[in-house]
Every structure is written in C-alpha cells, then in structure tokens.
Amino acid sequence: MNQTILPGPRTGRVTVPASKSYAHRFFIAAALSRAPVTIHCRGVCGDIRATLSCLQALGADIREIAPETYEVAPLLAPRRKPCILPCRESGATLRFLLPLVGALGINAVFHREGRLPQRPLEPLLAELVRHGMSATADGCDLHCQGQLRSGDYVLPGDVSSQFVSALLLALPLLPGDSTLTLTSAPESAPYIAMTEEVLAAAGISLYRTGSRYRIPGGQRYRLPSHLTVEGDWSAAAFFLCAGAMSREGIAVDGLSLPTRQGDSALLPLLRQMGAVVNLSSGCITIRKGRLRATDIDARPIPDLIPPLSVLAAAAEGGSHIQNARRLRYKESDRLQGIAELLNSLGGCLTVDGDGLLIHGVSHLQGGTVDPMGDHRLAMSAALAALSADAPVTVRDADCVSKSYPAFWADFQSLKGEAPCPAPSETPSV
C-alpha cells in the first residue's frame, strides 16, 4: 500500500496507542502471574501481537474480552513439547522470551522475519549458553533448549537494554538466587527502569547496588487483576513534532506525566528547539515557534531520532545528532535511512560516523520515498510532508502496523492549517 500526504502544516487532536514497551512487559508478567489478569491496551500493534502469539504458544490463554481489553490466563502448566514461537520482526519479543523459555525448561524454535535474524543477540545468548541453554541458528529459525540455571550473569550495558530486561524478567523464576553485573553504563536506562517498575507491580523483588543486581530465586509473579497500559511516547513523538511545525498546533491525548518512558525527554528538546509546549488536563499541545537547530545525544532516546531529524531539517542552522550507533541495528539501518529519505526530499543531511549533521532548509520538496519496511521511517516521511512544497508518497506505507496500526487514520484526521492572514494594508498618510 502506498500513501500520499499533501504538503503543509496540520492541526487537530489525536489519542495515541498504548506504550509498546510497557505492553510487552505487562503481557509477559501477566502470563507468569498466579491468577488471570485483565489488561486494557489501546491500539495493539504487530509487535505486541507477536508477543501474544508466542505466549499463547507457550500455554497462556489470552482472549480479547472487549474492544482493546484482554484477559490473560497464566502459564500454570507450560507446554513441555517443543514450541514454535512466531516472533515476526519483533526484537523485544525474541529477546524477552529467550531467557524465559530457558527458565521454564521449554524447548522452543523462535521464528524470525525481516531483519530480525541480523539484529544483535550477543552477548545475551552467550550468557544463556554459559548457564545451561543451547542455541542453534538455522536460517530464520533459532532452536533453543535446555534448563537455565541460577548463577552470576555478566552483560555490557551499552549493547541493548533489552538484554538486561530479559534477564530481570526470567531470573526470579529460577530456584536459586542470581546476580547480574553490568560492565558498562546502560545506553537506555529508562527502559530498564520500566522493567523494574513492572516487576515491582508484580511483586518481584530485585536489589540493585550500583551496576550489580541481586535477584532472589523462587519468586512468583502476582500482577493486580486489572491494569491499563499508558500511552506511547515514541508513537506520540511524530504528532508532537508535527505540532512544532503548526501555527495552530496539535493536541495529543493519552500520555502520562510523570512517566518512566525515556522518550518523554522529547518535551524539553522541543522547547530547546523553539516550540511552544502547553500541558493541561492530561493533554499536551505543541505549537510552532521559531525553530532553531540543536545538538542531540541519541544514546538514551534512539527512537526519537527519526522525527527529530525531520524537525532539525526544517530548523534554522545546523544540528548535530551524536551517539546514534544503535540506530544501525533497527528494522533498517535507520541512521543511513533517515539521511537518505530526507536528502531525497531536498534535505541536507550527512552521516558522520555514528551521528548525523543536519543543515536546515527553508522547505523540503515533494517526492516518492521508500522507508525500507521501517515503520519509523514511514512515519518520518509523513512528518516531512508538513514542511514540503509538494505531496510526498510513501511506498509500503502499511509497515507502520508494526508499532502504530492506526497511524495513517490518525494522521489523516488532522486538518490542513488555515493560511496566515495577509497583513493589513497601512493607509498612506
């Protein structure tokens, strides 16, 4: 499916879907709980459906009992026969469930699609093998078996925070105590804090001293019987950045403040770039100011870099995005991809090692872009159309379903901004 976006700023109001990051964690914790859990999760996306399919394959009973409301009956008796786990293209699904099948003693085949077989699993996989599991790759399939053992685990923190979260989710299930030591500072610490929050809600105890966790074994998950997943800041970023290009502004509902979602760091960045930010009654409204360039550290906020790059391309001056190495290992080489996408529309971006140099232009051009199957690049192309002088057509536009199935409907619900009123003539004297 192709999608064509007319040029020019938009205005309106949208409600964003539930946080994909929280949803993965809550659904897994619910499947491990001792009693059924009802979860309200707005706008379930492809990645979350992958996690739900895998949990069902492992023995959980998950039913949609009302629109966007799911009842999760737990894995009280996990299946012992080999399980086929359809991860689709979801890195979080694969990484979170790898240690879990070992902790449950289940033989499993993880089926991976798209770029997922190329995305990093080391050194997590090596630690799992060191503690009793075995893993063999066969094309898109990863065969895992063996019982994971308690012990002392060691990981670098700067490869993927999902590796840390995966072990924190699984190790409490083992009979003995374990430790997890991080040999370097985590690049996306807020995502680990999110995991700690979900574990605390489920009654799981962790003890952290500096870079070392002590994880008591023999614990049981006990989530509350009902919960609601808060809105997704990563998804909202595209509309918040769109508001920064709109004189009339865009209002976004469904976001929580305060929150452990690291992408809420977008608000101070938008202020830094000159946007007008208004918070009121659970709604965030962003309006255009005089956009100016800024320097951005991508390390804690990799998912914000695509929309912020579009905004920087429309700002005055030169912006520098640094420490963006992890973007090369997403659904595409997202660092190269955002540069090529915006340059094809008349932008001025240069890949600088693991960063981007962005020189703002007065406006972008229209054209046709290929997001290479990357949902965040497709949404970035829609955002780019707002500062373009002609329509932008996005190929393979339905790739947004990976994280935000309703994105195009929500985007098209925004109205074109009314033209600026012409300045009144001053009568001659």
The residues annotated as belonging to the active site are: 303
Are the C-beta atoms of 7 and 222 separated by less than 8 Å? no
Give phi and psi for 209, each to the nearest 5: -125, 105
112: β partners:
88
**Cβ contact 404:17 at 8 Å:** yes
Please provide the distance, in angstroms rounded to a whole number, between the alpha carbons at the two ends of the chain: 60
Rg (CA), the chain: 22
CA-closest candidate to residue 39, choices 75, 31, 232, 203: 31
**How far apart are alpha carbons 170 and 37 in whole angstroms?**
19
Between CA 70 and CA 179 the distance in angstroms is: 34
**How far is Cα 102 from Cα 134, in angstroms, rounded to an integer?**
9
Q: Are 80 and 101 in contact, with CB atoms under 8 Å apart?
A: no
- The type of residue at 233 is W
Please name which of 332, 315, 333, 198 lies closest in space to residue 260, comparing C-alpha atoms: 198
- Coil, strand, or helix at residue 165? helix
What is the b/e burial string over 379-396, where b = at least 16 CB atoms within 10 angstroms of the residue's CB?
Answer: bbbbbbbbbbeeebbbbb
Of the candidates 116, 134, 117, 115, the one whose C-alpha atom is nearest the C-alpha of residue 125 is 134
CA distance 231 to 23: 10
- In total, the chain counts a number of residues equal to 429
For residue 396, give the nearest of 337, 313, 349, 343 by alpha carbon.
337
371's tokens: 């997001």
